[in-house]
A and B are shown apart, each in its own frame.
Chain A
Amino acid sequence: DQQVKQNSPSLSVQEGRISILNCDYTNSMFDYFLWYKKYPAEGPTFLISISSIKDKNEDGRFTVFLNKSAKHLSLHIVPSQPGDSAVYFCAASANDYKLSFGAGTTVTVRA
């Protein structure tokens, strides 16, 4: 039973526009959330994170929003660039050392 769900397997966006990736979770004990980015033939790389004591975290073009009551988080990429084309994984942990991952969303940035 997947506790972290990314319901959109793919997203296509025009260069310069905003990309919004969504993630839902079912485990109310999750208190730390991460986004990873993965290119083909490479391992996932850490992108940005947020803890449950915050509702927003920003790092350059990337912003993560957390809505604890809805058990939902989202990643905004503004503006989207061709190098952002990749698979994005949402992950969560519950005050331990294990991460639960979503199935991933493939982002394609069109020129």
Chain B
Amino acid sequence: DADVTQTPRNRITKTGKRIMLECSQTKGHDRMYWYRQDPGLGLRLIYYSFDVKDINKGEISDGYSVSRQAQAKFSLSLESAIPNQTALYFCATSAASLEGGVLQETQYFGPGTRLLVL
């Protein structure tokens, strides 16, 4: 079974609709992230959470909200979807270690949700 799962894998919705993307992990990590991928732009951070009570905005949080229901679950919501939110969305969890004074953070990604907003 996959360590990081996302549902749905594909979604088509209309402008103005509210939708939720869900992420679950079995890795036992405290830190979770939501990214979007657009062609030519790589992955951009939307929101991140260091634990259930700690939610932080990333570089492109406008138009999105999140909920950390439990250590293992982190949901992303589009309150009123618009066409430029059409993208590939990835959830990730992370583990970190400190070696030689350098914080080494490795993130593990889910399979992604392909969202199309018409």
Contacts and interface: CB of A to CB of B under 8 A. Distances in A.
- Interface of A, secondary structure class, is loop
Contacts of A34: 106
Interface of A: 2, 4, 6, 9, 31-32, 34, 36, 41-46, 49, 51-53, 89, 93, 95-99, 101-104
A93 B41 contact: no
Given A32-B103, A44-B90, A51-B99, A98 B48 contact: yes
Interface of B: 4, 31, 40-45, 48, 50, 58, 90, 92, 94, 96, 99-112
A4 B59 CA distance: 14
Given A41-B111, A52-B102, 8 more contacts: A31-B103, A36-B109, A43-B110, A44-B43, A51-B104, A98-B48, A99-B43, A104-B42
Nearest to A54: B100
A32 B102 contact: yes
